Amino acid sequence: MGIKNKLFKEYASLPSEQRKTFRLHSWYSMAEGTLFGTFVLNEFVFIKSLKGNDYLMGLLFTFSMAVFTLLLFGNEILRRNQNKKKLLRRTALITRLPLLIFLVFPTHLSSYIENPIWYFLFLLIILIYYMSTPVTLPTVNLLLRSSYGNKHFGVLYGYANTINKTFALLATFCFGILLDHNYFIFKWIYPIIGLIGIAGIWSLSNISYTPQLINSINKGLFVSVGNSIKTMGQILKRNRPFLNFEISFFLYGIAFMITVTVITFFMEKHLHLNYTSISAYKNLGAFVTILCMPFFGRFMGNTDPRRYSRIAYMLMAAYIAFVMITEYLPYHFQIGEYKIYYTLVIAFIIQGIFTAGMAILWYIGSAFFCRNDSLSGDYQSVHLSFVGVRALFAPLIGVYFYQNFGYSFTFAIGIFFLILAIALMYYSQWKRPNPYGNDKE
């Protein structure tokens, strides 16, 4: 009751406009949490329910990250567009309405095997859904920062993020149970969450926003994007600690993307887990993440981001290692529908801790290398663009390693890349103790 009373007191003390923003933001967080929690099982639906091709499954994960390569265009489009409400609503309709197409998907596995066009249609619909990211991600941050202000942004964003994670947990749990009862229930669930997603973005678009006056833009879109790329190159050249961080983060990203799809194959094809068990492991990690995020938030503010990243990479390596050990020590017990592997429980607890740390590093880690607040957006553009670049190839390389060399080899390659990332962060902090770099370099 103490936390609840504190929340109500903080909410009541806010100006009326900020209370309205928080309500709209909360509705959006519920909707997006429901979508995220459902899509957590996307890859399993593709290979477990539809028996999709391994490489196509790799593409499915690629889509969720490769769209970050378009953020440069998204930021420029956002800067030029003064009507954020219309931009958000159009984006919602274009990217969420195609989920209604799942209503015509067949409910017999033979239909997919005999006509692979269904697999490609599945991938296309999901790709269109993820295409909203380059528009919604910067727009959401802009609206919230403008409305909340610096004083309340962190606290209110934290509360809304907790709502988001809670609904994601519930969605993953419920969807997993439904899928165990009917492998093709997704054809009804995806259209429903598509409508929920539209309603969520519609709610967010009602946040009051006063467009900033900007000078007439004479340069073309591609010229402006080209100039942004040049600015990014200059930042990397001047700030060597940030360059080191981005290289190490790229190495971590390759490790993550090589192994993430293969862990999906491992849980489905090697361990033969049902949807209920899979959702339980996923939720275990998510629950640990929620518990640990406040600690990592405080820790991140009081330490060099390179030291922080080393800890995150070590946790990721430990997570992969315990998944790998499960292949050789498959000891488990059964509780109803749940198949509990001891080493897999440890792995997902570690994964939850890792995710709590990485979530902060992923979203705001780049800002800790930026001395000038006006350049923080450019630093984040560098950071997220590299996320998209590695997604273009790493997941499919992971599938290739798994098919040709097996699970353990693929997991070992991932751990090797993480060791390289850790070593680079040790070197960077030893060589250049100042994380802000030197403009004279």
pLDDT in tens, 358-408: 877 776 666 677 766 556 666 767 777 777 788 888 899 999 999 999 999
Q: What's the confidence (pLDDT) of residue 376?
A: 61
Classify 26 as helix, strand or coil: helix
Q: How far apart are CA 127 and CA 107, in angstroms?
A: 22
- Greater confidence (220 vs 133) lies with 133
Average per-residue pLDDT for the chain:
84
Q: What's the confidence (pLDDT) of residue 75?
A: 67
Q: How far apart are CA 116 and CA 416, in angstroms?
A: 36
How many helices and strands in the chain, by DSSP H and E?
A: 18, 2
Q: How far apart are CA 210 and CA 411, in angstroms?
A: 49
Find the length of the chain: 441
The share of the chain scoring above pLDDT 90, in percent, equals 49
The share of the chain scoring above pLDDT 70, in percent, equals 81
Cα→Cα distances 93→98, 195, 202, 227, 272, Å: 8, 9, 10, 31, 37
Q: Inform me whether the pLDDT recorded for 260 exceeds 50.
A: yes
Of the candidates 71, 48, 67, the one whose C-alpha atom is nearest the C-alpha of residue 59 is 67
- For the record, the structure tokens of 303 come out as 């330490």
Q: Lowest-pLDDT range, 8-22, 97-111, 210-224, 422-436?
A: 210-224
Torsion of CA 45, 46, 49, 51, to 10 degrees: -160
Q: What's the confidence (pLDDT) of residue 236?
A: 78
Q: What's the confidence (pLDDT) of residue 141?
A: 72
Residue at 391: amino acid letter: A
Q: Inform me whether the pLDDT recorded for 248 exceeds 50.
A: yes
Mean pLDDT score, 115-136: 91
Mean pLDDT score, 149-174: 80
Classify 333 as helix, strand or coil: strand
Summarize pLDDT for 218-245 with one digit per residue, the tens: 666 667 667 767 777 777 787 888 888 8
Q: How far apart are CA 92 and CA 69, in angstroms?
A: 20
Summarize pLDDT for 45-59 with one digit per residue, the tens: 999 999 999 999 988
Q: What's the confidence (pLDDT) of residue 440?
A: 42
Q: Inform me whether the pLDDT recorded for 274 exceeds 50.
A: yes
Q: How far apart are CA 401 and CA 30, in angstroms?
A: 38
Element (DSSP H or E) covering residue 340: strand 338-341
- For the record, the structure tokens of 223 come out as 């010229």
Q: What's the confidence (pLDDT) of residue 441?
A: 40
Classify 335 as helix, strand or coil: strand
Q: What's the confidence (pLDDT) of residue 191?
A: 97
